[in-house]
A and B are shown apart, each in its own frame.
Chain A
Amino acid sequence: MPTRAADSPSVTPSAARAALGDLVRWMTDQGWRPHEFQQAVWEDHLAGGSGLVHVPTGAGKTYAAYFGPLAEMIAEARAATDAGTKVTGPRTLYLTPLRAVSRDVEKALTRPAKELGVKIRVETRTGDTSSYTRKKQRAELPQVLITTPESLSLLLTYPEARERFQGLHSVVLDEWHELLASKRGVQTELAIARLRAWLPNLRTRALSATLSNLDEAAQSAVGAGRRFTLTSARMDRPVHIETLIPDNPGRFPWAGHLGLKMLPDVLASLDAERSTLIFCNTRSQAERWFHAIEAAKPEWRGHMGLHHGSIDRDDRTRTENGLKDGSVRLVVATSSLDLGVDFAPVERVYQIGSPKGVARLMQRAGRASHRPGEPCHIVCVPTHALELVEIAAVRRAIAAGEIEPRRFDTKPLDVLAQHMVTCALGGGFDADAFYAEVRGAQAYADLTREDFDWTLRLVTEGGGTLAAYPEYRKVTHEGEGRHAAPEGKPAQLHRLNIGTITGDATMEIRFVGGKRLGSIEEHFVGKLRVGERFVFAGRVLRFHRAKDLTCFVRPATGRSNHTPIWSGTRLPISESLAEGVRSAMGSLSAGDEAEPEFAAAAPIIEAQSRLSHTPSEGELLVESCETREGSHLFVYPFEGRLVNLGIASLAALRLGRRRPATFTIAANDYGFELLCERGEDFAEWVDEELFTSEQLMEDISEAVNVGELSKRQFREVARVSGLVFQSYPGAHRSMRQLHASSSLLYDVLTDFDPDNLLLAQARREVLDRQFERSRLARTLARLASATVIRRAVKRPTPLGLPLVIERVGGQISSETLEDRIARATKQWEADLRKAPKRERTT
């Protein structure tokens, strides 16, 4: 196996090995003993291997991946010094999912060589990098480039890209498990496939946390059909889960609340002297908890921090650093702190609300004092009674080793379309060779030539099914399969909009004439009245005005319960956890008290059993009930909110076929509710036929179409494939005529190009993501063979009430729009007649 990088002939295996020896000595001098797994990775790298390293956080995986390439760089630098020459160009690419890479990575990668007296240029390049540094980097990349998938793709759009990456020999993929399951991961795969086509000996090392499908993860890191080495370290630390059990769980708030009822218990258990991390599931939950703790313990204010994705990067960094140097001892955070380099370990970790998944809770628990071998301890704070059951289920799943796999995006054509434009700009490509190159990325290993050609037509001709549009020219075919892209307005738009991260339109939030606080969703700002108070970044603010894309605020005093709700932050419970919950429910109804949470959950379960029934494994509970609102049908598959919603849509469609009706749908992690007009009891109609897998895809697609979900999903597809843009270059005026919402485009495509593969992709993504398609199919099979238990109840039961409270879902109707308007009007008139005393306000 060749051990030398393509462009560094001066590195001999023995020189690299000598440099590695120096690095090991350096490590020992720091008081660290090289782990066996680290040595295995270094050997594998020097032997020309690629692969994946799977170890818990804080075990030294960064140096495991980095020292192999670094040893070669040191050897090369020494040889250059001896020869009186200078090393130029990149050698190692360090990719991280963190959009704003903290200085720590750069420091960690700079230190060893520096202390060995060898000069290695280590630099970061992200969206935040100054234009001066970028320009310098464009001229010559540093030896070690730390960057994000987006910045890497951007580098690939420049015509000199190939030349500029000459000499690169190693790629490190940090936190690969985070990128994997997303389009960012796919984008990364494509970018590396590009580099690999230029540099056949390129070696890739991915770093990942616990997954159950490590082989797949490794394959996608090294490329389709290539050999890889899996390195694991047996350093797993036992996880201790403790639950703060409420005094009176029977009077627990049900749902839709953020669990602040548990605040006194949490305050009593907090220790101001010990560094503590409190994880919340959503940004608004974090805001509320931070605000509430601060109000209850004003003396802690100086030592508290709030950390979530919408808070200004500088403030977040300050919090992280404070945690490190001890000036901040209590941080309320969201998953924004799940990611991240080995930031300082804390002494105590709390989880507010549902753990959502087994791996997720393990990872969070792992934040508690990193000391190999020592158990990690996490305190769970349930926000409603059924979360007690979830916590117990996670404990059991960890004991049984049931950890979730990461699912992959396959063949997203929107990402491919974007990458095609990137490569066409970055030196162009030959269609046949490019097809082979793209299939080298694991995500596209089975991409058909047909789909490839369709995507190529999309970017060259505009994707018209029959006619090519002469006015369209993004990528041009220069004959004999050679494709390239001209510079100009489309190229400029492409560079500005590279990437796969789509968010809701956000506005910057800042003090009048001053400091930036972070970003906030536009629709929240749209609803604010001037002078209205709300909580953001842990402060009470008063809305002053909105101008362009900035929301100006002034500091306010007092308290406010108004917290922005950020969309897309509600994660369903995972498949492993859902299974655990079903099993735990069964144990509970059978009187099991083995877990500490069970005794606390018992009153709720008894109430459920008394009023209706508590389903055990193998049973499907169906409740029906009449209220003033209408006829409710409650079904509890216990399969996570998304799958429950999918089944609800399917059931509504199928029931509606048997008898026309309009259903309002609500779903949560446990079950779903279908609400229809009074007097229409559908409980008897819930049978195995309702859950048949026959016609599943057709039916769900129809239900999905009616629900307009794919239209929403199309936003992302349209954005990634370059049909709509998030960012328009400065001159707003000339761009105004290009404004079109993705939903409008969706309609246009549906009308005039119904076979467009991007529409098909949006539908597939809805099924995969919104409903977790494969999980949905498995669930239907389970439900079709379940024993259906029907109960007519007087009012919503403990299981059903959260659904009534949280009714937020969509609507599935087999009636025409005209009928629905007429019906809604009639309902209004009836309501007005019934309540003649109520004043009508206009």
Chain B
Amino acid sequence: MSDEEMAVDVAGERIELMPERGAHWREGGAMLVSDLHLGKSGVFRAAGIAVPDGDAHEQLDRLAQGLARTRAERLIIIGDLLHAPAGLTPSLVEAVAAWRKRHTQDWLVVPGNHDRRLEDLTDAWRLDIKPEIYTEGPFRFRHEPAIGPGTPTDGFVWSGHTHPAVRLRLATGSVRLPAFVIGPHRAILPAFSRFTGGVVHVPEPGDRLFAVTPNAVIEAPVELRA
């Protein structure tokens, strides 16, 4: 599978974009993900909408696969690990806690707008909660990509939040795929959760878009974008 990854140069670092919807920063020994929205299906059920369980388990399996392959020792979660408190059922908390016992990597969490009650899970899930802007090496990690006034502009920013997608025109049919957005000053990760919608990313100057297909990451040619 590893040959299906896409290696790109980001701020002088080699980054592998993974079909699991994460990025591998080899130099930093870390796998980067964002927008897991754990507990989302539970939030739906609590509102009387019959969505099956299983999204969390699928994500944990995919994480395990990515971590095993990259041998990353750390997981940097760039926000929205959780969806909403209503979905944080005891069985979900327990399932993740059990998984954390088997997988010993460190979890660094940069909080996102959905991450309410994150502190309650610090012990059970062994979370290392970071500030909203967390700096490491040449990178800054923050959940929302928008760089507002007063935000330091030095350093390359990694973020999530928008669940970027790209639409490709193939013959007459078109497909919409989750995408990595890599620009000159910031990168946006696709949502790690598959139970999320996405917004077709409107590229800014210098942006490269990488589509995630079921088995590979492919740079989305400008000509095929709808």
Task: Report A's interface with B, CB cutoff 8 A.
Answer: 458-459, 462-465, 467, 469-474, 489-490, 493-494, 662, 664, 721-724, 737-741, 744-745, 747-749, 751-753, 756, 807-811, 816-818, 820-822, 824-825, 828, 832, 842
Q: Is the CB of A842 within 8 A of B222?
A: yes
- Whether a CB of chain A sits under 8 angstroms from the CB of B159 is no
**Chain B residue nearest in CB terms to A491:** B48
Partner of A756, one of B42, B52, B168, B213: B52
Is B172 part of the binding interface, using a Cβ–Cβ cutoff of 8 Å? yes
In the bound complex, CA of A747 to CA of B198 (Å): 14
User: Is the beta-carbon distance between A462 and B86 smaller than 8 angstroms?
Assistant: no
* Inter-chain contact A825/B221, CB cutoff 8 Å: yes
Q: Are B45 and A820 in contact (CB under 8 A)?
A: no
- Residues on A with C-beta less than 8 A from B42 are 469, 471
For A824, the chain B residues whose CB sits under 8 A away are: 168-171, 224
> A473 near B48 (CB under 8 angstroms)?
yes
A474 touches B218 (CB 8 A): no
CA distance A695 to B176 in the complex (A): 31
Given A664-B172, A751-B194, A752-B58, decide whether A469 and B47 contact each other with a Cβ distance below 8 A.
no
Is A821's CB under 8 angstroms from B218's CB?
A: yes
Give the Cβ gap from A703 to chain B, nearest Cβ, in Å.
14
Q: Which residues of A contact B83 (CB under 8 A)?
A: 737
Query: Which has the most chain B C-beta neighbours within 10 Å: A739, A752, A821?
Result: A821
Q: How far is the CA of A467 from the CA of B41 in the complex (A)?
A: 14
Min distance, Cβ A714 to any Cβ of chain B, angstroms: 13
B172 touches A463 (CB 8 A): no
Partner of B211, one of A493, A807, A821: A821
Q: Across the interface, which residues of A come within 8 angstroms of B45, CB to CB?
A: 462, 469, 471-472
Task: List residues of B whose CB falls within 8 A of some A CB.
Answer: 40-55, 58, 83-84, 86-87, 89, 114, 168-173, 175, 194-197, 211, 213-216, 218, 221-224
Are B53 and A752 in contact, with the CB atoms below 8 A? yes
- What's the minimum C-beta distance from A268 to chain B, rounded to whole angstroms? 40
On chain B, the residues within 8 Å of A825 by CB distance are 221, 223-224
In the complex, A810→B83 CA distance in Å? Answer: 35
Chain B residues with Cβ below 8 Å from A810 are 172-173
- Which 5 pairs of residues, A with B, have the shortest CB-CB distance? A490-B48, A752-B54, A811-B173, A474-B48, A753-B52
Minimum CB–CB distance for A827 against chain B, Å: 9
Q: A818: which of B53, B172, B194, B215 is its contact (CB, 8 Å)?
A: B215
| Cβ A828 vs Cβ B52 within 8 A | no
Structural contact, B172 and A809, CB atoms closer than 8 A: yes
- Please state if B173 and A818 are interface contacts (CB–CB under 8 Å): no
Contacts of B175 in A (CB 8 A): 817
The CA of A128 and the CA of B158, in the complex, are separated in Å by: 51
Assuming the contacts A490-B47, A752-B53, asked whether A740 and B168 have C-beta atoms less than 8 A apart, the reply is no
B223 contacts A828, C-beta separation under 8 Å? yes
Contact A751 B54 (CB under 8 A): yes
CB distance from B186 to the nearest CB of A (A): 21
Residues of A contacting B224 in the complex (Cβ-Cβ under 8 angstroms) = 821, 824-825, 828
> With A738-B43, A818-B218 as given contacts, are A723 and B197 in contact (CB-CB < 8 Å)?
no
Q: Which residue of A lies closest to B198 (CB)?
A: A744
Expressed in whole angstroms, the Cα–Cα distance for A820 and B170 within the complex equals 7
Say how far B195's CB is from chain A's closest CB, in angstroms: 5
A458-B50, A471-B45, A472-B45 as given contacts; A811 in contact with B84, CB under 8 Å? no
B194 & A745 in contact (Cβ 8 Å cutoff) = no
Contacts of A822 in B (CB 8 A): 218
B87 to A, closest residue via Cβ: A471
Contact of B49 among A738, A747, A807, A817 (CB under 8 A): A738
Contact call B49/A723, Cβ cutoff below 8 A: yes
A828 touches B41 (CB 8 A): no
Q: How far is the CB of B35 from chain A (nearest CB, A)?
A: 13
Contact check: which of A722, A723, A752 meets B55 at CB < 8 Å?
A752
Chain B residues whose C-beta falls within 8 Å of the C-beta of A820 in the assembled complex: 170-171
Residue of B48, B54, B58, B213 with most partner-chain A CB within 10 A: B48
| Contact in complex: B47, A821 (CB < 8 Å) | no
Contact A818 B213 (CB under 8 A): yes
Measured CB to CB, the nearest residue on chain B to A464 is B52
List 21 interface pairs A-B (beta carbons < 8 Å), by A numbering.
A465-B52, A467-B53, A473-B48, A474-B48, A474-B50, A490-B47, A737-B84, A739-B197, A744-B197, A752-B53, A808-B172, A811-B170, A811-B171, A811-B172, A818-B213, A818-B215, A818-B216, A820-B171, A821-B224, A824-B170, A824-B171
B contact residues around A467 at 8 Å (CB): 53
> In the bound complex, do residue A740 and residue B52 qualify as a contact, i.e. CB atoms below 8 Å apart?
no
Contact between B197 and A745 (Cβ–Cβ < 8 Å)? no
Contacts of B44 in A (CB 8 A): 738, 740
Collect the chain B residues with CB atoms within 8 Å of residue A747's CB. 194-195
Most-contacted residue by chain A among B53, B175, B222, B224 (CB, 10 A) = B53
Q: Output the nearest chain B residue to A460 by Cβ-Cβ distance.
A: B50
Quick one: given A471-B42, A662-B171, are A462 and B52 in contact (CB under 8 Å)? yes
For residue A459, which residues in chain B have a CB less than 8 angstroms away from its CB? Answer: 50
From B86, B87, B89, B194, contact of A748 by CB (8 A): B194
Q: A722-B49, A828-B224, A842-B222 are in contact. List 10 more A-B contacts (CB 8 A).
A: A458-B50, A490-B47, A493-B47, A738-B49, A748-B55, A748-B194, A752-B58, A816-B215, A817-B214, A821-B224
Q: Is the CB of B213 within 8 A of A807?
A: no
Chain B residues, CB < 8 A from A474: 48, 50
Known contacts A472-B48, A490-B47, A824-B169; is A748 also within 8 Å of B195 by CB?
A: yes
What's the Cα separation between A842 and B205 when bound, in Å?
12
A371 to B204, alpha carbons, bound, how many Å?
Answer: 68
Assembled-state Cα–Cα distance A744/B83 (Å): 16
Contacts of B48 in A (CB 8 A): 472-474, 489-490, 493-494, 722
Choose among A458, A751, A832 the residue that contacts B58 (Cβ–Cβ < 8 A): A751
A739 to B195, CA, bound (A): 11
Complex contact B50–A738 (CB within 8 A) = no
Name which residue of chain B comes closest to A824, CB basis.
B170
Complex: how many Å from CA A471 to CA B90? Answer: 10
Asked if B50 contacts A472 (CB within 8 A), the reply is yes
- Nearest A residue (CB) for B223: A828
Q: How many whole Å from A479's CB to the nearest CB in chain B? A: 21
Residues of chain B within 8 A of A821, CB atoms compared: 168, 170, 211, 213, 218, 224
Interchain CA distance A69-B214 in the complex, whole Å: 63
The docked-state distance in angstroms from the alpha carbon of A108 to that of B106 is 76
CB distance from B28 to the nearest CB of A (A): 29
In this complex, the member of B52, B215, B221, B222 whose beta carbon has the largest number of chain A beta carbons within 10 angstroms is B52
Across-interface contacts of A465 in B (CB, < 8 A): 52
> Contact between A753 and B54 (Cβ–Cβ < 8 Å)?
yes
Instruction: Provide the bound-state CA to CA distance between A721 and B214, in Å.
Output: 30
A527 to chain B, nearest CB (A): 12
Assess the A471–B46 pair: CB atoms within 8 A.
yes
By a CB distance below 8 angstroms, the chain A residues around B53 are 464, 467, 469, 752
- Which residue of the partner chain, among B86, B170, B195, contacts A744 with CB atoms under 8 Å? B195
A745-B173 in contact (CB<8A): no
Least CB distance from B129 to A in Å reads 22
Give the residues in chain A near B41, CB-CB below 8 Å: 748
Closest-CB distance, A816 to chain B (whole angstroms): 8
Q: Which of A745, A828, A832 is close to B51, meaning CB atoms less than 8 Å apart?
A: A745
CB distance from B86 to the nearest CB of A (A): 7
A749 to B51, CA, bound (A): 7
Asked, given contacts A744-B196, A818-B218, A828-B224, whether A462 binds B51 with beta carbons under 8 Å apart, the answer is: yes
Chain A residues with CB under 8 Å of B87's CB are 471
B197 touches A741 (CB 8 A): yes
What chain A residues lie within 8 Å of B216 (beta carbons)? Answer: 818
- Which of the listed residues B42, B49, B211 has the most CB atoms from chain A within 10 Å of its own CB? B49
> What residues of B have a CB within 8 angstroms of the CB of A811 in the complex?
170-173
A740 touches B195 (CB 8 A): yes
What is the minimal beta-carbon distance from B122 to any residue of chain A, in angstroms? Answer: 23
Q: Distance in Å from the Cβ of A732 to the closest Cβ of chain B?
A: 14
Which one of B51, B86, B215 has the greatest number of beta carbons of chain A within 10 Å? B51
| Most interface-central of A459, A467, A738, A744 (chain B CB within 10 A) | A738
Give the chain B neighbours of A739 by CB distance below 8 A.
Answer: 197
